[in-house]
Amino acid sequence: MTRLLTPGTVLRRRYKIIAPVGRGGMGAVYRAEDLRLQGRICAIKEVRPDPDATPEALAQAQEQFRREAFTLARLDHPNLPKVSDTFTERRREYLVMDFVEGRDLRQVVEEHRRREEFLDESEVLHWADQLCDALEYLHSQEPPVLHRDIKPANIKLTPGGLIKLVDFGLVKLLATDDSRTITVLQGRGTIAYTPLEQYGGDTGHTDVRSDIYSLGATLYHLLTNRPPADARQRFLDPHSLVLPREINPRISPTTERAILTAIAMHPDQRPPTVAAFREMLHAASLPSPLVPLVPARGEWARAWRENRPLLLVTGTLLILAVLATLR
């Protein structure tokens, strides 16, 4: 694996590396100081070339990176980090963006899991609204932009309570001609949050419903302290998905149904847009076309456990009423 940049390294005679904050097989992200704007701290994403790639493949990858950079640079939304610069140095590509202070939601949910507590549903739904705002903005671009790697680790909670959707390493532009996607940077996402159609990599047919799946899987994790069974496992064993309320009975039926619809295996069974998913999250009752075919395993037992006292009282009253009519 290629070495990380050492603290103190200056890129483009402007950005001084402070420390790495994340790394992967083909790159890393650094915290850096902007030497031209005193006091500004930024995040720098580094993409390293594939050492086995042909010159043609390297040129294509460079063009893809620049396309991603130009796409992200035009975005301006409070729940997205702002991209400010892009450049090439030492045969590596760099993307400069705002450094987002705060913890990611993976850290937040892990803290609650260790304490054997669940996050409050109203708080999670407040975060979900902000994520929906960001995704609706991305999907409304021309052409639409797909994130393709929504997960708790890529969502920052700032000290002021603002949610930021970060890490656009798998961003895609959605072609306007036939609803297929054009790869900007290759990647397949993180398995627990990745829909089945995204497993195809560059050949997979993804659209806005792929982001909806990832968002639904993320909300599942935040409310249950564990990620859902991944799409491949569910394809092999449809009963592998545990219903959210079996793990956390405090989740409302409406929220559970919205999440299960979002993570439906086939895209046609999911909400068609982020706006439709948001409506499901806040709906008092769900329209029948959006109700998915959810496994009924455990439903009757769970209903009995939750309503046992009421059912016993109701049953007793019914028996007394019948006996009274027989006298």
| Residue where a domain terminates, one of 39, 64, 98 | 98
How many structural domains compose the chain?
2
Catalytic residue status for 149: yes
pLDDT confidence of residue 2: 62
3 lies in a domain? no
pLDDT confidence of residue 172: 57
199 lies in a domain? yes
326 lies in a domain? no
| Residue where a domain terminates, one of 98, 117, 142 | 98
Task: Output Rg (C-alpha) for the chain, integer angstroms.
Answer: 23
Q: Which helix (H) or strand (E) holds 316?
A: helix 299-326
Contact (Cβ atoms closer than 8 angstroms) between residue 105 and residue 113: no
* Buried/exposed code over 25-60 (b: 16+ C-beta within 10 A; e: otherwise): ebbbbbbbbbeeeeeeebbbbbbbbeeeeeeeeeee
276 shares a domain with 172: yes
213 shares a domain with 152: yes
Domain CATH code at residue 55: 3.30.200.20
6 lies in a domain? no
127 shares a domain with 89: no
* Buried/exposed code over 116-125 (b: 16+ C-beta within 10 A; e: otherwise): eebbebeebb
Q: Which helix (H) or strand (E) holds 57?
A: helix 55-73
CA distances in angstroms from 65 to 41, 59, 79, 173, 307, listed in the order given: 23, 10, 22, 12, 56
Domain CATH code at residue 227: 1.10.510.10
The span from the CA of 81 to the CA of 250, in Å, is 33
Residues in the chain predicted with pLDDT less than 50, given as ranges, are 170, 176-188, 202-203, 285-289, 291-301
The residue range of the domain holding 47 is 12-98
169 shares a domain with 46: no
165 shares a domain with 28: no
197 shares a domain with 120: yes
311 lies in a domain? no
In 152-273, which ranges are continuous DSSP H helix?
A: 208-224, 231-236, 244-247, 253-262
Q: How many CA atoms lie within 13 A of 120 on its CB side?
A: 3
pLDDT confidence of residue 1: 53
3-state secondary structure (DSSP) of residue 275: helix
pLDDT confidence of residue 129: 98
177 shares a domain with 66: no
109 shares a domain with 37: no
The span from the CA of 211 to the CA of 1, in Å, is 30
50 shares a domain with 149: no
pTM over cut 0.85: no
Compute the Cα dihedral for 187, 191, 194, 196 and give only its sign.
Answer: positive
Name the active-site residue from 104, 133, 149, 167: 149
264 shares a domain with 174: yes
| Residue where a domain terminates, one of 98, 117, 133 | 98
260 shares a domain with 118: yes
66 lies in a domain? yes
Contact (Cβ atoms closer than 8 angstroms) between residue 131 and residue 79: yes
157 shares a domain with 85: no
178 lies in a domain? yes
Compute the Cα dihedral for 291, 293, 296, 297 and give only its sign.
Answer: negative
313 lies in a domain? no
